[in-house]
Chains A and B, each alone.
Chain A
Amino acid sequence: MANLKINDINKNFGSTEVLKGINLDINDGDFLVLLGPSGCGKSTLLNTIAGLETSNSGEILIDNHVVNNMEPSDRDIALVFQSYALYPAMTVRKNVTFGLEQRKTPKEKISEALNEVSNLLQINELLDRKPSQLSGGQRQRVAMGRALVRHPKVFLFDEPLSNLDAKLRVEMRREIKKLHKRLKTTIVYVTHDQTEAMSLGTNIAIMDQGKIQQCDTPKNIYNKPQNMFVADFIGSPSMNLLEGSLNNKMFKPNGSDNVQIPLEKYDFINKNINNGSIFLGIRPEHVYFDKVNEDCFGIKLKSEIIEYTGHEQIITFNFSGQQFLGKFPSTIDIQMDKELDLYIDLKQISLFDKNTQNRI
């Protein structure tokens, strides 16, 4: 177990910059999730930490030692791959112990370690099978066993659940969480699934275009997105972003003449900002039909489209020409093409500058 520090990592493939100055500080026992759309560089960052790719500049420190010039096998890390990457010609037993054998571990120690992980992951009955004889979930377990058996300082996961079906994915997610709670190892976990990221991570680093957009706890990521990319990326359906202007702590949405939303209760980062073009962000689940608290702001909007998903329904409203979504329990009856009274919880809003796209 160890901490992991990433200082100003840059990586180019030819002329394309894949990582642009990544800084991360991961404490001992942290579960950091790298989350981002495909092609954002998260897997490259993970491979760089593992030593499978070399960075063009910057430093990687594991347990306060610079490991830049170390072989992957000398960094004391383990990586669980998306395709599991089990050795097809070897039995499960050989797969798990291959790494220990390469390190010339004594035989008794190997069988001890094998026993420990096979009990932990319940793969005892599978030890003499070949990977082709295992189901997806079982392969996943073996891949984790291969990582766990060496007691590495840092665990790296590269989208380990994305090849499993939906039900198994939820189960394995919970098991990974359990494992982390029990072993308290430092973990870096790459995924593009935000539910996975939210439910697993103690911290989430949102990446886009080779940069870290925000690194924070899941709660802060969700409730206080630092810029419009994070606001839009997290949450399903994503946050409503209403374009408008700020004037004297009042928000006037574009296209409507008579609506003015008071913002005096909003916690501005820079107290001096008083006017300009901004976006007001509000999550669809913070739109209500009733006045749920004192900070609710009432508004009349026309309902246009209904999407029923079983446990909830998503309604598209017309906010003076801008699209505006609301998420409601599926138990209530909502009429379409009608002006309805809605309440927006002003305690839950986020404001972004139109030019910088950053939170204000």
Chain B
Amino acid sequence: MTENNYYQLEKSSKNKKIIYRWILFIILGLFAIYYIAPLYVMIVTSFKTMEEIRQGNLFSLPSALNFEAWDVAWNGQGFSAGDVFLKTYFWNSVKLVVPAVIISTILGAINGYALTKWRFKGDSYIFLLFLFGTFIPYQAILLPMSRTLGSMGISNSIYGLILVHVVYGLCFTTLFCRNYYISISNEIVKAARIDGAGFFKIFFRIILPISAPILVVTVIWQFTMIWNDFLFGATFTFGNEAPIQVALNNMVLTSSSVKRYNVDMAAAIIAGFPTLIVYVLAGKYFIRGLTAGSVKG
């Protein structure tokens, strides 16, 4: 081939590359719009008045930033009976999520550490049971759990709900931590044993300080699961003890005469906000932690 031919080939492959790039970005952009559109509608609707909603287009911007719907969703309308609002229930959820996440994460980490670094007879079967536990559907444990909570005297309380979420989440946190710790060299634990450290000393001084990637994963996972849970909350609590997702449901479904879309939208955003924050702050670590151990580093 001549010099000219090579030049032509190089040019055409360069053009091809640019075209493919553009196609890629256009497709990605379409998907992004598709996924973001509902959130956009929620946000603009929450700032509109009912008048605007009735008249206007779904995608049109509000005429002014109107916080009234947000205020109603958070604080209620001021009359006592039948007025559902989110403030109390939001704090219920916080009081539920924080201890439940911390306890289930710590217990999962200790389980994973014991299952990988202090092998004992039958440990693989115990791990298998944990693995099996992750496949148990929510509905299957409703009845036995309510009996248990009843006999313990903590039904319809935040404590009961904490216990439910810790027990249910333990399988997941154990699985995550076990898979992470199995990639950590056993020789570190042996060295520490020879240095004279025991089970918990090794865990807290040596293993826990290098567990950040997987702890972030379990925290995000547990936070999302517990915060977004509706079924356990609706089953094991009622009235003032309910978590936010139950309150959101009550608020949206029980409004009497007119559907207040702006209030519903504001309430939904409030209910979803904490998980959004967690993902934005720690999402980077989430992906890193999920893939940790899959590639030897």
Chain A: which residue is nearest B185 at the CB level?
A: A83
State whether B190 touches A98 (Cβ < 8 A): no
In the complex, which of the residues A83, A89, A90, A99 contacts B194, with contact meaning CB atoms closer than 8 Å?
A99
B18 at the A interface (CB under 8 A): no
Distance in angstroms between the alpha carbons of A71 and B188 in the assembled complex: 17
**Cβ A89 vs Cβ B196 within 8 A:** no
20 additional contacts, CB 8 Å, given A71-B193, A73-B196, A102-B195? A72-B190, A72-B193, A73-B194, A73-B195, A79-B190, A81-B187, A81-B191, A83-B185, A83-B187, A85-B185, A85-B187, A85-B190, A86-B191, A87-B192, A87-B205, A88-B209, A89-B206, A89-B210, A99-B195, A102-B201
- B142 at the A interface (CB under 8 A): no
| Bound-state Cα–Cα, A85 to B190, Å | 8
In the complex, whether B106 has a CB less than 8 A from a CB of chain A is: no
The 10 closest A-B pairs by CB, nearest first: A89-B209, A99-B195, A102-B196, A73-B196, A85-B187, A85-B191, A81-B187, A72-B194, A85-B188, A88-B210
Q: Does A170 make an interface contact (CB < 8 A)? A: no
CA distance A89 to B187 in the complex (A): 15
Q: Which residues of A contact B210 (CB under 8 A)?
A: 88-89
A78 touches B188 (CB 8 A): no
B252 at interface, CB cutoff 8 A: no
* CB pair A146 B191 closer than 8 Å: yes
Which chain B residues lie closer than 8 Å to A167 at the CB level? none
Q: Compute how far the CA of A119 lies from the CA of B110 in the bound complex, rounded to whole angstroms.
A: 38
9 A-B contacts, Cβ less than 8 Å apart?
A: A73-B195, A79-B194, A81-B191, A82-B187, A85-B190, A87-B188, A87-B191, A99-B194, A99-B195
Residues of A within 8 A of B196 (CB): 73, 99, 102-103
Q: Are B197 and A98 in contact (CB under 8 A)?
A: yes
Flag whether A187 is at the interface (Cβ < 8 A): no
SS class of chain B's interface: helix, strand, loop or mixed? Answer: helix
Considering only residues 202-242 of chain B, those with a C-beta below 8 Å from chain A are: 205-206, 209-210
Which residues of B sit under 8 angstroms from A146, Cβ to Cβ?
191, 195
Q: How close is B143's CB to chain A, nearest CB, in angstroms?
A: 42
- Asked if residues A102 and B190 are in contact (CB atoms below 8 Å), the reply is no
Residues of chain A within 8 A of B193, CB atoms compared:
52, 71-73
In the docked arrangement, what's the CA distance between A146 and B192, Å? Answer: 11
A77 at the interface (CB under 8 A from B): yes
A 128-155 to B, binary, CB cutoff 8 A, 1 in contact else 0: 0000000000000000001000000000
Q: Which of A47, A85, A103 gathers the greatest number of chain B CB atoms within 10 Å?
A: A85
Looking at B191, B193, B201, which has the most chain A CB atoms within 10 Å of its CB? B191
Which B residues touch A82, using CB under 8 A?
187
Structural contact, A81 and B190, CB atoms closer than 8 A: yes
A103-B197 Cα distance, complex, nearest whole Å: 9
Chain A residues whose C-beta falls within 8 Å of the C-beta of B194 in the assembled complex: 50, 52, 72-73, 77-79, 99
In the bound complex, CA of A103 to CA of B195 (Å): 8
CA distance A83 to B197 in the complex (A): 19
List CB contacts (< 8 Å) of B65-89 with chain A.
Answer: none
Instruction: Give the residues in chain B near A78, CB-CB below 8 Å.
Output: 194
A88 to B189, CA, bound (A): 12
Complex Cα distance, B205 from A344, in Å, reads 63
Bound complex: CA A50 to CA B193 (Å) = 10
A146 to B194, CA, bound (A): 11
From residue B158, how far is it (CB to closest CB) to chain A in Å? 35
